Amino acid sequence: MRDLLPTPPPLHQNEHAEIRELFRRFVVPSYGRFDLVFSHGAGSYVWDVSGRRYLDFGGGIAVCALGHAHPEITEALVEQSRRLVHVSNLYFHGPQGRLAERLVRGIGPGKMFFCNSGAEANEGLFKLARRFGHDEGRFEILTAVNSFHGRTLGGIAATGQDKVKKGFEPIIPGFRHVPFNDLEAVRQALSPATAAVLIEGIQGEGGITPATAEYLMGLRRLCDERRLLLLVDAVQCGHFRSGRFQSFQRILEGIPGAEGFLPDGLSMAKSLGGGFPMGAFWVRSEAYGVPLADLFGPGTHGTTFGGTPLGCAVALRILDVIEREGLERHVRDTGDWLKARLESLAGEFPTVVSGARGLGFMLGLELHPRERIPALAKDERPASSQMVSRLHEAGVLTIPSGSQIIRFLPALNLARPQAEEGLEILRTVLRGIA
Ligand SMILES: *Cc1c(COP(=O)(O)O)cnc(C)c1O
């Protein structure tokens, strides 16, 4: 009988090594990758090439809105690809118009432009600000320290972190950085050339820091006073991740006078296509008497692949599922629960964990500095990367953010039992370190 059992194939180990070798030889080494090679996924689980299963709390960095291999995404891809994949933006088609309507209804009066990534969506906002300020000689955009806005030349200029700019000088002029959640710093930094202020609703790469309600309201007032565009990078924090469609909607809930709050422009990407590469920006109908949503007239801006029938059909289907399954409420409730549990880990493992932060399914667990945790002190890598590696070994995917925070950006349909399973594993790993 024993002979009939399939021997665990050494092939799998070879596949891991083979694929790593292909990357080593043929892929530009611009990413610091973890030593995991994946083959397939289902829902919030993903399998490596040796057949080992992982619980995915990283969601492909906030991209896999409905998890892996969601049957309705597959269906939308198959159905739409049988009809029409691409026609170019020389023509009209149903899916782009219908998706634009759905997204605008989620934010406020305005229009959509479709593109392919977060950086490209932000580039659109930079051009919008320049176009808006052009006739008055204004072009400057203020952004936040520790922000992240993408890896294009404009994106690294806008990003408030030196590490993304280093070696790529000269940096595109027209961006300056001010401390986040500090209204006075923005006021002090304004110059006659300033045209816009750009912030993330919740800083993601910078370590899961939500904008405060006072900051958002204050920025809106300041922008109104000085005729500036208020731009929000919602690439990571948008699309229901906070437990509302947009994080500013969640942050401003119940704040007196915030009912009519709207930014002037907003970029999105990551979860929008659930893994199908899509970006977009929303622009407000009107600001300061300027018909903002029509500033980009024919010939002013474009992109070949933006808003294809295929991409838009997928994004529409994701919105259908989110609505039908009540995932907005789910993210909010489960996210609040998860955050409370993460906070309680600081009480349970005070020598390792210092706290939790974030909203909905955009959460961070704060660790003490590596030097202060004996079990991590010998390894040179920051506490966040070491923790993420240990969680890999235990079968959970999370994402480091800075040197002391690990991020949880799970699929919006992560079920409560899976969240509990992940927490248990996290607790076991923490127990091993404490
Ligand atoms: C990921 C991210 C971007 C860049 O998006 P890409 O699709 O990688 O170009 C921009 N802004 C924020 C806030 C992000 O999280």
3-state secondary structure of 148: coil
Residue 7 has a pLDDT of: 60
Residue 365 has a pLDDT of: 98
Distances in whole angstroms, Cα of residue 92 to Cα of each of 77, 95, 97, 117, 308 = 19, 9, 8, 21, 10
Distance CA 234, CA 217 (A): 17
Q: 17 alpha carbon to ligand 1 midpoint, in Å?
A: 30
Q: 155 alpha carbon to ligand 1 midpoint, in Å?
A: 9
Domain boundaries along the sequence of the chain: 12-63+327-433, 72-324
Q: 407 alpha carbon to ligand 1 midpoint, in Å?
A: 15
Least-confidence region, from 6-15, 29-38, 131-140, 221-230:
6-15
Q: 274 alpha carbon to ligand 1 midpoint, in Å?
A: 14
What confidence category does residue 2 fall into, taking pLDDT thresholds of 50, 70 and 90? low
Q: Answer yes or no: is pLDDT of 292 > 90.
A: yes
- Counting DSSP H helices and E strands in the chain, the numbers are 15, 17
- Tracing tokens 């993408």 back to the chain, one arrives at 150
Distances in whole angstroms, Cα of residue 388 to Cα of each of 32, 80, 235, 397 = 13, 38, 23, 7
The model's pLDDT over 245-258, given as tens digits with 9 standing for 90+, comes to 999 999 999 999 99
Residue of 61, 148, 231 best suited for mutating to test ligand 1, as the one with most atoms within 8 Å of CB: 148
Residue 3 has a pLDDT of: 58
Q: Answer yes or no: is pLDDT of 356 > 90.
A: yes
Nearest CA to ligand 1 atom 6: 118
Residue 4 has a pLDDT of: 65
Q: CATH number for 72-324: choose from 3.40.640.10, 3.30.465.10, 1.10.10.60, 3.40.50.10140.
A: 3.40.640.10
Nearest Cα to 73, choosing from 249, 252, 272? 272
Which pTM does this prediction carry? 0.96
Q: What is the mean pLDDT of residues 400-413?
A: 96
- 230 sits in which H/E element: strand 229-233
Does the C-beta of 210 come closer than 6 Å to ligand 1? no
- Tracing tokens 């959509």 back to the chain, one arrives at 112
Distances in whole angstroms, Cα of residue 331 to Cα of each of 48, 101, 139, 251, 355 = 27, 23, 38, 15, 20
Does the C-beta of 204 come closer than 6 Å to ligand 1? yes
Q: What is the mean pLDDT of residues 111-127?
A: 98
Q: How many residues does the chain have?
A: 434
Residue 25 has a pLDDT of: 98
Residue 6 has a pLDDT of: 61
Start-to-end CA span in the chain (Å): 45
3-state secondary structure of 177: strand
Q: What is the mean pLDDT of residues 217-221?
A: 98
| Check whether domain 12-63+327-433 has CATH 3.90.1150.10, yes or no | yes
- Tracing tokens 């899961």 back to the chain, one arrives at 208
Task: Name residues whose C-beta falls within 8 Å of residue 379's C-beta, 6 or more positions apart in sequence.
Answer: 370, 386
Q: Answer yes or no: is pLDDT of 351 > 90.
A: yes
Q: What is the average pLDDT score of the chain?
A: 96
Q: What is the mean pLDDT of residues 414-432?
A: 97
Q: Strand pairing partners for 41?
A: 46
12-63+327-433 with 72-324: one CATH topology? no
- Tokens standing for residue 17: 């090594």
3-state secondary structure of 353: strand
Residue of 236, 267, 401 best suited for mutating to test ligand 1, as the one with most atoms within 8 Å of CB: 236
- 280 sits in which H/E element: strand 279-284
